[in-house]
Chain A
Amino acid sequence: MLDTGNRLHEIIRKDEEGLLKDWIALQANTSGRRMTAVEEKQLQTNAGEFLAMMRQASQEGGYDISKPEWSGVRDFLTQLSAARARAGSTPVETAMFVFSLKEPLFNRLRRESKDAETLADESWKATLLLDRLGLLTMEAFQKSREEVIARQQQELLELSTPVVRLWDNILALPLIGTLDSARTQVVMQNLLEAIVQTRSDIAVIDITGVPTVDTLVAQHLLKTVAAARLMGADCIISGIRPQIAQTIIHLGVNLEDVTTKATLADAFAVALKRTGYGVFRLKNSGGNASQEA
Chain B
Amino acid sequence: MEAQKSETHEIRTSQDVVSVRQAVRRLAVEMGFNLVDQTKIVTASSELARNTLDYGGGGSATIQSVRNGSRPGLRIIFEDEGPGIPDIALALKDGFTTGGGMGLGLGGAKRLSSEFEIDSEPGHGTRVTILRWKGL
Contact = CB atoms under 8 A, between A and B. Distances in A.
Interface in B89-136: 136
Contacts of B36: 185, 189
Interface extent on B, as a size class? under 10
A150 B71 CA distance: 14
A275 interface: no
Interface in A139-159: 150, 154
Nearest to A154: B136
Interface residues of A, number: 4
Nearest to A157: B136
A72 to B, nearest CB: 21
Nearest to B36: A189
B38 to A, nearest CB: 13
B77 to A, nearest CB: 26
Classify the interface of chain A: helix, strand, loop or mixed.
helix
Nearest to A192: B36
A185 B136 CA distance: 13
Nearest to A150: B136
A185 B36 CA distance: 9
Interface string A180-199: 00000100010000000000
B78 to A, nearest CB: 25
Contacts of A154: 136
Contacts of B136: 150, 154
A189 B37 CA distance: 12
Interface in B30-57: 36
B134 to A, nearest CB: 14
A154 B34 CA distance: 15
Nearest to A185: B36
Nearest to A153: B136
A189 B36 CA distance: 9
Nearest to B35: A189
Nearest to B136: A154
B135 to A, nearest CB: 9
B31 to A, nearest CB: 19
Interface in B52-91: none
Contacts of A185: 36
A182 to B, nearest CB: 9
A189 B39 CA distance: 13
Nearest to B135: A185
A193 to B, nearest CB: 11
A110 to B, nearest CB: 43
B75 to A, nearest CB: 21
A160 to B, nearest CB: 16
A150 B36 CA distance: 20
A224 to B, nearest CB: 14
B95 to A, nearest CB: 17
Contacts of A189: 36
A154 B136 CA distance: 8
Nearest to B37: A185
Interface of A: 150, 154, 185, 189
4 contacts: A150-B136, A154-B136, A185-B36, A189-B36
The 4 A-B residue pairs whose C-beta atoms are closest, nearest first, are A154-B136, A189-B36, A185-B36, A150-B136
